[in-house]
Amino acid sequence: MRSLSRVVVALVAAVGAGAWGTPAHAIANGEDVADGQYEFAVKLTDIGIPTKDGGKRNSSCSGGLISPRWVLTAGHCFKDENDRRVSRPVADRTVATIGRADLSGTAGFSANVVEVRQHGDADIALARLDRPVTGIPLMRLNRKKPVKGQVVRLVGFGLTDGKAKQTTLRLQTGQFKITSTSKLEMGVIGEAPRDDTSACEHDSGGPYFTGGPTGAPTVIGVVSRGPDCPHTGADTSARVDAVAPWILSVIGADLRAAAAKPSTKPAEAAPAPARRAGSRANEPADEPVSPLLWVAALPIVLLIGALVMWTAKPRKGSHRRR
């Protein structure tokens, strides 16, 4: 099944549009993403997060698909009612929407998050889906230290302005420049379409990456924290290269299973061996017949010949049916 039922699609869209709970934010002063582009982008919709007063709220984060069953996102996207990061889903239901630039549509995939792994130090988490996603390019992990001045791109869902009360249903994107690096983090500032293009609250976990809109990109970092949007200051991103070995230790088996999956195309039958003209398959080669066998069969041959001659004569009253 490539999409949720109409009811669940409407539910997720309502949460994404800020119908319930705390407003969620997306890239401020960014640009709309066309259908079919950046399909690895993930919307994580939390429905029914427990609150400290015993109530429930709804929220969302962003992420990127890095294996058929694993989504890369921010560690703080999974906090319990006491504001502590936890290695488990925290909502009654967390829905991952992948390959859908327009949340009001039905393209792409939807799956439930059933497991969460938190990195011990970096603001990075991995969310496992209840079914594999196919047909969408996976994000590759950056293994080199980011370079100051390097330009990266971000995709995310939510508000396009910090004062808005409803999130956008269209995936947003913008370009950013790396300004600094530390052991686990990097700083980025808006580059295009404006210098105040910036990430907002629930862009958390959204991937900063290099690569085009339709190919397999390389993820450099994920949105962690920053000033209220929009702004011209620096946002802080968790570096992927710093924790790539840990990420691979979690998703490696899934990547290997996907790579080893046999083709669904039926195997073609091997061509039959060449045969001589007039020969029949699976029959032994012709052997010479013994002369004695001809002598013994002569009376039978003569009898059959006589019968054929008699039956060949026309007989009165015999008609063939038309």
Helices (H), 103-214: none
Q: Are 28 and 198 in contact (CB under 8 A)?
A: yes
What is the reported pTM?
0.74
Determine, yes or no, domain membership for 316: no
Structural domain count of the chain: 1
Q: Are 217 and 209 in contact (CB under 8 A)?
A: yes
What would the two tokens of residue 196 be? 């105040």
Q: Which one, of 177, 217, 212, 179, lies nearest residue 197 by Cα?
A: 177
For the chain, report the end-to-end CA distance as a whole number of angstroms: 58
Q: DSSP of 45-71, one letter per residue?
A: EEEEEE-TTS-EEEEEEEEEEEETTEE
Residues 154, 160, 162, CA angle at the centre, nearest 5°? 110
Determine, yes or no, domain membership for 49: yes
What would the two tokens of residue 240 be? 């992927």
pLDDT at 153: 98
Determine, yes or no, domain membership for 156: yes
**pLDDT tens-digit readout, 269-303:** 333 333 333 333 333 333 344 444 444 455 554 44
What would the two tokens of residue 140 be? 């590759």
Determine, yes or no, domain membership for 318: no
Sequence-distant (≥ 6) Cβ neighbours of residue 138 within 8 angstroms:
40, 65, 66, 67, 68, 216
Helices (H), the chain: 6-16, 244-260, 291-311
pLDDT (tens place) for every residue of the chain, 322 residues total: 444 444 444 444 444 443 333 333 358 999 999 999 999 999 999 999 999 999 999 999 999 999 999 999 999 999 999 999 999 999 999 999 999 999 999 999 999 999 999 999 999 999 999 999 999 999 999 999 999 999 999 999 877 777 777 767 899 999 999 999 999 999 999 999 999 999 988 899 999 999 988 878 999 999 999 999 999 999 999 999 999 999 999 999 999 999 987 644 433 333 333 333 333 333 333 334 444 444 445 555 444 444 434 343 433 443 333 3
Determine, yes or no, domain membership for 103: yes
Q: What proportions of the chain, in percent to the nearest 5, are helix, strand and coil?
A: 20, 35, 50
Determine, yes or no, domain membership for 294: no
| CATH number for 204 | 2.40.10.10
pLDDT at 213: 85
Determine, yes or no, domain membership for 161: yes
Determine, yes or no, domain membership for 211: yes
Q: Which one, of 43, 134, 135, lies nearest residue 97 by Cα?
A: 43
Domain that holds residue 127: 6-255
Q: Are 242 and 183 in contact (CB under 8 A)?
A: yes
pLDDT at 299: 52
Please report, for residues 42, 67, 100, 215, 303, the alpha-carbon distance to residue 140 in angstroms, rounded to integers and kept in the order given. Answer: 15, 9, 20, 11, 86
pLDDT at 276: 32
